[in-house]
Amino acid sequence: TYHANDGTDDSNTATVTITINPTNDAPVAVDDAYSVDEDDTLNEAAPGVLGNDTDVDGDTLTAVLDTGVSDGTLTLNADGSFTYDPDADFHGSDSFTYHANDGTDDSNTATVTIIVTPMNDAPVAADDSATTNENTPVNIDVLFNDSDPDGDPMMVTAVSDPPHGSTVINLDYTVNYTPDLNYNGADSFTYTVSDGTDTDTGTVSITVNPAPAPVVYGGPVSAPPVLLSIEVTPGEATIAEGEARQFRAVASYSGGTTRNVTAEATWGSSDNNVATVDAGLATGVAEGTTGITATLDGVTSNEAALSVTAPAVVSVEVAPESGTIGVGDTVQFTATATYSDGTTVDITGQATWNSSDPDVATINAEGLATGEGEGTVEITVTLDGVTSDPVTLTVTAAGAVLQWWAILAIVAGSLALALLLFTMLRRRRGLATGGS
């Protein structure tokens, strides 16, 4: 309000009304993080990525995809929900970006990080066939044509009883089949291959031929089979320092027969400073390339190429295993990686940290977690596609701690001390007026 004056008298009082027209405020998008197991699907319900985004005007937000993922398929819906399917056998970190829109303005661009946790892939057992003569046992290398997607060493853990014979698992995981006395015809058995975690089953079909006619005295005498060649498989392999890879040697003889000679052959590495080998099991020593061979009865196999890379991360651990803080407080987590060569390294500032609920607690790139709201979250860290087991962080209301300090001071008989402690703690937690 105001009035006018002519030098002598005042006018009446007048009112000036100012109308402040509203303008739209852009929403604010916040980065998100999720995790999913390898070969699994991540289905995140609404509000999804919009759950931690804000708009001061209270407008309804919609999510708009900016850049998609690189190692899978993604469907992002306007309500913030999304579905993510990682590529087959992919594990590691993937991401996409989006922005929020309030119907008028766009937010900043936010990044959604998805950690795909590695899972074991089961070995694949391929069916086999073998031939033997009546009353003649035969060793069958059932693993020769089997495979493991992760390159894990395989072993035979079980065999079934064939209808017309018996089976025994040998130390080198070949299977010895013995037909029943005087039996000839078709027979079969199944076997189980394991990579130490998962299994698969294959079938072995056997043809038992009738016994050869006896040789007439003075007639031709069959020469013993001659070793012609040895094949080492796989022909190429890659391991990290400290890791091991099983090679297999199969001998071919005159007459067309083959035999697994992994256990009895003499194995060699062209560079023992890169990798050593014993009974076909090669162990990485240092980065480089070496050739793996097997020798038996003066015959040397092909040279299989083995590449040894830098030590690989095999596990990650987070400390402490659990913690409790108040809203506004912080706690420092540390991460330690164990590598394939047995060394351990502090990777706190090198790995990717993740909080299962940023509304309860956030965690920065250095492992420092901050309480944002009451609740419990799981903290994990990932390096080179290997994710730690989760640790638990509980965030409590800051006021509860203040009340206990005040109660203790009052019990001690000093109301003034209680008020002083209350004020100091409020300021420390940033709760006092004008506090930081």
Q: Encode the chain (436 residues) as per-residue pLDDT tens digits.
A: 988 898 888 999 999 998 887 888 999 999 999 999 988 999 999 999 999 999 998 999 999 999 999 999 999 999 999 999 999 888 888 999 999 999 999 999 999 999 998 888 899 999 999 999 988 899 999 998 999 888 888 999 999 999 999 999 988 889 999 999 889 999 999 999 998 889 999 999 999 998 766 555 555 555 678 899 999 998 999 999 998 888 989 888 887 778 888 888 999 999 999 999 999 999 999 999 999 999 999 999 999 999 999 998 989 999 999 999 999 999 999 999 999 888 999 999 999 999 999 999 999 999 999 999 999 999 999 998 889 999 999 999 864 444 444 445 445 555 555 555 555 554 444 333 333 3
CATH superfamily to which 32-117 belongs: Immunoglobulins (2.60.40.10)
Q: Residue 34's beta-bridge partner residues?
A: 114
pLDDT score recorded for residue 378: 93
Question: Residues 377, 355: contact at Cβ < 8 Å?
Answer: yes
Count of CB atoms situated within 10 Å of the CB of 274: 20
Count of CB atoms situated within 10 Å of the CB of 158: 13
Q: Residue 137 is encoded by which pair of tokens?
A: 């046992």
pLDDT score recorded for residue 430: 38
- Residue type present at position 88: A
- Residue type present at position 100: A
Instruction: List, in sequence order, every beta strand (DSSP E) within 121-184.
Output: 128-133, 138-140, 155-159, 165-169, 175-179
Answer whether CATH 3.40.1410.10 is correct for domain 313-394: no
**Chain length of the chain:** 436
Report the sign of the C-alpha dihedral through residues 294, 297, 298, 301, in that order: negative
Tokens 């079969």: give the residue. 188
Question: Residues 233, 250: contact at Cβ < 8 Å?
Answer: yes
Domain layout of the chain by residue ranges? 32-117, 128-209, 227-233+244-302, 313-394, 399-428
Answer whether CATH 1.10.150.130 is correct for domain 128-209: no
pLDDT score recorded for residue 417: 54
Question: Could you give phi then psi for residue 215, rounded to 5 degrees?
Answer: -80, 130
Question: Residues 225, 258: contact at Cβ < 8 Å?
Answer: no
Q: Considering all CA atoms of the chain, what is the largest pairwise distance in Å, rounded to the nearest integer? A: 156
Q: Residue 194's beta-bridge partner residues?
A: 155, 199
Question: Residues 94, 112: contact at Cβ < 8 Å?
Answer: no
Alpha-carbon gap, residue 192 to 204, rounded angstroms? 11
Helix, strand or coil, per DSSP, at residue 45 = coil
Question: Residues 174, 249: contact at Cβ < 8 Å?
Answer: no
Give CA separation, 95 vs 34, 113, 350, 409, in Å: 10, 4, 18, 51
Phi-psi region of 411 (alpha: psi -120 to 50; beta: other; left: phi over 0): alpha
292's enclosing H/E stretch is strand 288-296
For residue 418, the 8-state DSSP code is: H
